[in-house]
Amino acid sequence: MKTKLLAGLAAMILGAAPLAAHAQQGPTLRVGMAAQDVGRLDPHFAVSTIDRVAVAWMFNGLVRFRPGSINPAEIEPDLAERWESSEDGKVWTFHLRRGVQFHGGFGEMTADDVVFSLQKAGNAGSSAFSADYRAFQSVEAVDPYTVRITLRENVPSLLGLVTNYSGGYIVSRRAVEQRGADFARNPVGTGPFAMERITPNTSAELVANAQYFRGAPQIGRISYRFIPSDASRDLAYQNRELDLNYGRADQTWVNRTRQVPNTTVDVFEPGELTILSLDVSKPPFDDIRVRRAFAHAINRQEMVRWRGPDVSREGQSVVPRGYLGFTADNGLLPFDQARARALMAEAGHANGLSVRVIHTQLPEMLNGMQVIQQQLRRVGINLDLQVVEHATFHQQIRQNLSPLVYYAAARFPVADIFLSQFFHSRSIPGTPTAVTNFSHCNVADSQIDAARVSTNREEQLRLWAQAQRLLVENVCAVPVMETLLVFARRNNLSYGYELRGSMSLGPLITEQTRLN
Amino acid sequence: MIGFVFRRLIASIPTLLAVLTLVFIIVRVVPGDPALVILGDQATPEAAAALRARLGLDVPILTQYVRFLGNALTGDIGTSMVSGRPVFEEVGAVLPHTIDLTIASMILGIVVGVPVGIWAALHRNGVIDVAARLLSLIGLSFPVFVSGIFLLIGFALQLRWFPVIGQADLGDYGDRIHKLILPAITLGLVMAAYITRVTRSAMLASLSEDYIRTARAKGVPWRRVVWVHGLRNASLPVVTVVGLYVGILIGNSVLTEIVFNRPGLGKVIVGALNQRDYTMLQGLMVIYCFLIVVVNLITDLLYGVLDPRVKAA
């Protein structure tokens, strides 16, 4: 044991020889990211922002959001050149692009890889997004360049499940089988950039994929630096050591960064909707009057002023705005402190109410909750915040230990996902299919279920709107604000498209991206 | 000497075992589910259960412990739950940076702290002594994340002598030293402050001993009295503090690593803790503990060199 230990340590101390560098064809793009390290770059396990951003540079889906857009109506061909569906919408056939090569000599992408990838995405043991693929009955290779997907029931957006997002990325079957667990840090895709090496807690180095099917990228390499300290990252950007910098959704930061010479601050979708879920199954929120008082006490305008008008906007529903199915016509209770106090008195809490709430110490979430705490104090509601470490917060709110949960999230921009995960009874923590329904509400189950399988778009929109009205009327959750994504870049970096949104939560670096 | 080293290494085995057991228990007592951290907030209980099974977290804790100890005894300290790569490999990529920083800070601390401590002791309660005590107090109370940012603003942003991102190429020794200077100054000055205070106290005690008075009465030159008789006897507590502080430096370098964007063991430990990467934490503790044992051994050997009575005992 000692010999092995000593040998290992000696090798470490002397310093491992760096991997052989790839030939550099173009400039290096240096990206600063606010994170300690990447996690798993197997796209079906890429759940954090830092992982999602990098995965989008290395992988493709059968279809893709047009770069710079998160509008499902602008989905366009990617690895599939074209597709068709049966009349009932349950059978989809995709015709693959020929000659697409995987990174690192793993050969041509064929229907076999697509079948493997989608089956992997739908398997709980090999994907974090398996629940999204419940409606898949089968995925088959009709021939090497044709894939057929058969559904058990209709889904709101089949294309959304095979796009360049979450489980929709296509991996190399051979690479996954050959590399096993190592695939998470040595991923193999078909995208414009390929992984070269990862230095733990430091950086990931990517090289251009000269064989990329849309043409060789103009950027030669990407150096993806993990810099958790905001101050250090900003200093590195100011010192011209970074070309692209993850920004803070904070007006002061945006204003200050805009003053840095040759800098553009990009603010883009998707907005992360912050909601306050109230557990309707337990006191004090089992009383609708308390929930209504709570809703009237929240001043959304003040929240936006606090966060910054350039980077946030008021939440208007329990679904983020812009999502397919969103409606602002839902009867959302307005800010009204007098009404809130009256409702509290009516509910027997004229002398005030104290609620013990578990919350994370993550600064951006903690600060937001402290503003909410002040707003509620004005109507006699005292939030007794139990601040815990972030992983502990996630575990404890899933054990139903907090009657109020402050949660911010962005999902695929179709109302079904948000409604199902946050408001369907199947998603209540403690159930076998639990996700994030911390409100324990079930008032809109039938509308959510019916909308999901409906093939009539108008009916679907009507059902989603009805579900939102029911959830708002019952005050299952109070929407607070939507926070947009922020990145700063040097003016010599041109994405090659207009950045209005990105489902990977960071700018896509494509073959068109230039660094002059 | 070899027998002494061998006996100390054997004696360290129970310490290692105790540390391994403690770490194994502590990481599992801390709330937070590794499966949830890895799978994210959309994961279903089914997916989390599948992952826990794959990570070996579904078996009784005693079985996990026996497996862990068995593997550790064969030199296998596991595979990171998050990255899926061997802990040795992950640590190996950053350990040279930590060792660079530790050694450079230690050298700076000794080179600055010992002479200043002696100088202060020789001018007890004079201007030099007061200044040295005041500066060492400032050095001790200034957090490294503040002094580090000041150094970055001054030397990186204004003068442009150093980069803000301190990730060095291990194969390029010039680059390695260049990027080491600011972090080493940040940590080294804290160490120098410690050493100054200890050296001053030890020297004051040593200089008031009878043998010093005797040496002076015999006409031994003052310089020799101070550097040979005084310092040699005062160096035992200094060596003790340096030995202890090296262990603290390895663990506490995390803030310096974050501010200067350097890879290192401290950052890996924080990352593993945030991600509830049990195996990585356990592996890191084994390596950390091993390094501490080695540092303590070197300290003990130095005692023997400085004071033959220690060797004889």
What is the per-residue pLDDT across A309-323, written as a single tens digit (0 to 9) for each?
Answer: 999 999 999 999 999
The number of helix segments (H) and strand segments (E) in chain A equals: 15, 19
- Return the H-helix or E-strand segment holding B149: helix B144-151
- A1 closest CB neighbour out of B32, B75, B170: B75
**Does residue B77 lie in a domain region?**
no
Across the interface, whether the CB atoms of B264 and A124 are under 8 A apart is answered no
- Given pLDDT bands bounded at 50, 70 and 90, which one contains residue B78? confident
pLDDT of B54: 83
Q: Percent of chain B at pLDDT above 70?
A: 97
Cα–Cα distances in angstroms (integers) from residue A60 to residues A30, A51, B309, in the given order = 22, 15, 71
Across the interface, whether the CB atoms of A1 and B153 are under 8 A apart is answered no
- Nearest of B172, B191, B167, B233 to residue B106 by alpha carbon: B191
- Given pLDDT bands bounded at 50, 70 and 90, which one contains residue B230? confident
Question: From CA A436, how far away is CA A445, in angstroms rounded?
Answer: 15
- Given pLDDT bands bounded at 50, 70 and 90, which one contains residue A85? very high
CB A135 within 8 A of CB A154: yes
Question: From CA A43, how far away is CA A194, in angstroms rounded?
Answer: 13
| Interface residue B69 vs chain A (CB under 8 A) | no
Question: From CA B281, how far away is CA B272, in angstroms rounded?
Answer: 6
Residue A396 neighbours by CB under 8 Å, 6+ apart: A358, A388, A402, B31
pLDDT of B311: 58
Residues of B in contact with A390 (CB under 8 A): 274
CB A365 within 8 A of CB A357: no
Is the pLDDT score of A18 beyond 50? no
Question: From CA B245, how far away is CA B248, in angstroms rounded?
Answer: 5
Beta strands A477-490 and A312-314 are antiparallel
Amino acid at A497: Y
Across the interface, whether the CB atoms of A15 and B171 are under 8 A apart is answered yes
**Does residue B36 lie in a domain region?**
no
The model's pLDDT over A382-393, given as tens digits with 9 standing for 90+, comes to 999 999 988 899
**Does residue B304 lie in a domain region?**
no
Mean pLDDT of A48-72: 96
Lowest average pLDDT, out of A358-362, A429-433, A507-511, goes to: A429-433
- Return the H-helix or E-strand segment holding B203: helix B181-207
Q: Please say whether the dihedral angle defined by the alpha carbons of residues B29, B32, B38 and B39, taken in this order, is positive or negative.
A: positive
| Interface residue A202 vs chain B (CB under 8 A) | yes
Residue B270 neighbours by CB under 8 Å, 6+ apart: A36, B254
Q: Which one is predicted more confidently, B169 or A290?
A: A290
**Does residue B261 lie in a domain region?**
yes
**Does residue B312 lie in a domain region?**
no
Is the pLDDT score of A169 beyond 90? yes
Q: Which pair of tokens denotes residue B264? A: 């290192």
**Does residue B151 lie in a domain region?**
yes
**Does residue B219 lie in a domain region?**
yes
Across the interface, whether the CB atoms of B43 and A128 are under 8 A apart is answered yes
DSSP symbol at B80: -
Mean pLDDT of A409-423: 94
Q: Locate the chain A residue with the closest alpha carbon to B277.
A: A39
**Does residue B134 lie in a domain region?**
yes
Question: From CA A358, how far away is CA A405, in angstroms rounded?
Answer: 7
Is the pLDDT score of B196 beyond 70? yes
pLDDT of B252: 64
| Interface residue A182 vs chain B (CB under 8 A) | yes
Could you tell me the residue range of the domain that residue B215 belongs to? 89-276
pLDDT of B36: 84
Mean pLDDT of A107-123: 97
| Interface residue B255 vs chain A (CB under 8 A) | no
Question: From CA A77, how far away is CA A261, in angstroms rounded?
Answer: 38
SS3 A249: coil
Q: How many domains does chain B have?
A: 1
Q: Which CATH number covers residue B169?
A: 1.10.3720.10
pLDDT of B310: 65
> Is the bond preceding residue A270 a cis peptide, omega within 30 degrees?
yes
Mean pLDDT of the residues in chain A? 93
| Interface residue A261 vs chain B (CB under 8 A) | no
Mean pLDDT of A312-341: 96
> What ipTM is given for this predicted complex?
0.79
Q: Locate the chain B residue with the closest alpha carbon to A43.
A: B39
Q: Which one is predicted more confidently, A62 or B143?
A: A62
